Chains A and B, each alone.
Chain A
């Protein structure tokens, strides 16, 4: 339909060089996507106008559902409706056991992989694959809304995520076929969204209590630079735990005969609803009802506060720690930014305000602020703002160490070291002719290896054989700007680089990822048809925009009334079909629309050429 868009002489139709990008908040409970459009960061809603995508995927026997549709399946089919997988990212089966009944699914582990899988009707699924589905849906939603492909995305993660959790997030993006500019820490994203760098130079605290994670970060602002001074938190503490506290309270009150997966899901849903209502009301009625059993009760704000107070206290303890790490006192903090849906809970606000002894910043929607900040950074990283001074400087959230004799951890890079960072260590061989060695890397603050998180074992081999103690093996540990670690090793005398095999403790191996990518090709047909539909929808919107513009400028002068009406009818039909029709039907309607307006296009051409000839620059009449 390019013929409709005739530019005025002197006006260029060259597409502007804007590269589309998006910020994605991949949350425990809900996920969002945002983008900068006409200089403004906005949340991109789906075709039904929904901004929040519930982070739930339903795996049926013949199809996958993501978001609200999957949420609706939770009660009917709880075991195949997978939610809160963010808590499983980069985690092993022992961690899953520790989560207890938080995850009412059937977990499968086999000897070939370190990653626990959830048994579903579609097959055994890892948390990474579930996250990939959510990412795909959001990316599609964004492309649909922007009308173009995404050059890249920024995905947010809790600042306190360790290497394995970050790697799992990266892997999910890879499975979703997304180009990731950067993993961005959620608190930093929130500070960016508030535009705090514009407003003042100073030190701020970002208190981020989400569905499943808690983060506290201390940032220093200075002329567009966001410098993280220290970060702390708990990657398994959040609103979900409040739901469970209420859930357990309900179970204790109700004293049910037996509790199956469905009932416990029902109790959790009721608990969450009660929590949400208690942010505005002083008391709520709770009803649990299924075929055999039922219970009705009431909970008031004071009871609720009593249940969650230990949880909030735990977050304040972490605030105290992080202040110490930053070598600051409460008085040094000039603003406290509140992020995450769980900061809607009145007790949280009250206790945090008391702790920092100041008013809190919470005017932006705590559910949206992270995605908005991510979109702003994505726009800068896409190269759309060459003059931007914005720079986000981050730190390593947890110390990196290696296992030494006796099961102790020797720190290589301590927490809150600015990243990227590289540290090197020298080892020697202890046996004649030794050509290989193994390094076990862990993350955490504790002395014993067993109290830290195991990240990976690196098998280094291919050193030239030498007498014991003669070789000088330099091992370099590098953490990049995403907080992801890599290891390189070389024997310094011979200059021979080691071959390295990485055995991640809780992540997918490269081979597993490859296999998943191949497997996803099998589903690619679904994806292709979804993509085709979106392309046609976008095309239809373009056609309508073009015809509207044309009709407005010369429709009355170039068309008879019946002609005008006919074109208008075709246009309205197409408009209606954007929401409802399948890709093929939409394509036909677009063609029909084009056919109806053929004569009109020809007349516009003639008129335009005439005008241009009476004017001057024919070479500027672009069609």
Chain B
């Protein structure tokens, strides 16, 4: 069987330029083209060794796809490729304005509970969060392109915060809809 070069970057694997703004359709069709070759279903009648290799390579392709398809993961992967060592646990932000904003956003979500139109209230916050996510995304691109990796890291961190609140909001919406 063909062996993938596991040293190449995820961008190279899918034939994409190293940039934050990737074409998700191209990513997904490249992923399917690769899985068509390496997926374990193509090795059902192969030797045990080839079966194992296929699981490994298909896993790697999936991991690469997951990383590039999620904006936060993609940003952090780009930083890693540029030589930054990222450590989730020790990383915090010292930007107090940003922190205050986060706390305010969480409170706003909680207040929707007592709002006359709780779902409409959620939609409103959702719009706000999406535009924040876009804003920090653009910030990341600008910082990264100028080689300001530490600033880019802070932007990616903010993207992550927003992403978490977004997920919380969606959970909260479901909770409301389900009564």
Contact = CB atoms under 8 A, between A and B. Distances in A.
B45 to A, nearest CB: 6
Interface string B59-81: 11011011000000000000000
A417 B174 contact: no
A575 B109 CA distance: 76
B59 A422 contact: yes
A268 B49 CA distance: 51
B174 A481 contact: no
Interface stretch (A36-44, A139-147, A317-325): A317-325
Interface stretch (A118-126, A259-267, A389-397, A561-569): A389-397
Interface residues of A, number: 28
Contact of A481 (B29, B58, B65, B177): B58
A286 interface: no
Contacts of B45: 381-383
Contacts of B177: 320
A182 B44 contact: yes
B44 A381 contact: yes
Q: How many B residues touch the partner, as a band?
A: 20 to 34
B59 A478 contact: yes
Contacts of A480: 40, 55
A181 B44 contact: yes
A609 to B, nearest CB: 41
B44 A421 contact: no
A152 B170 CA distance: 43
A392 B41 contact: yes
A421 B62 contact: yes
Interface in A295-329: 317, 320-321, 324
B35 interface: yes
Interface string B20-61: 000000000100100110011100110000000001101110
Contacts of B35: 225, 391, 393
22 contacts: A152-B44, A181-B44, A320-B174, A321-B174, A324-B174, A381-B44, A382-B45, A383-B45, A391-B36, A392-B41, A393-B39, A420-B58, A420-B59, A420-B62, A421-B62, A421-B63, A422-B60, A423-B63, A478-B55, A478-B59, A480-B55, A481-B39
Interface of A: 152, 181-182, 222, 225, 227, 317, 320-321, 324, 380-383, 389, 391-393, 417-423, 478, 480-481
Interface of B: 29, 32, 35-36, 39-41, 44-45, 55-56, 58-60, 62-63, 65-66, 170, 174, 177-178
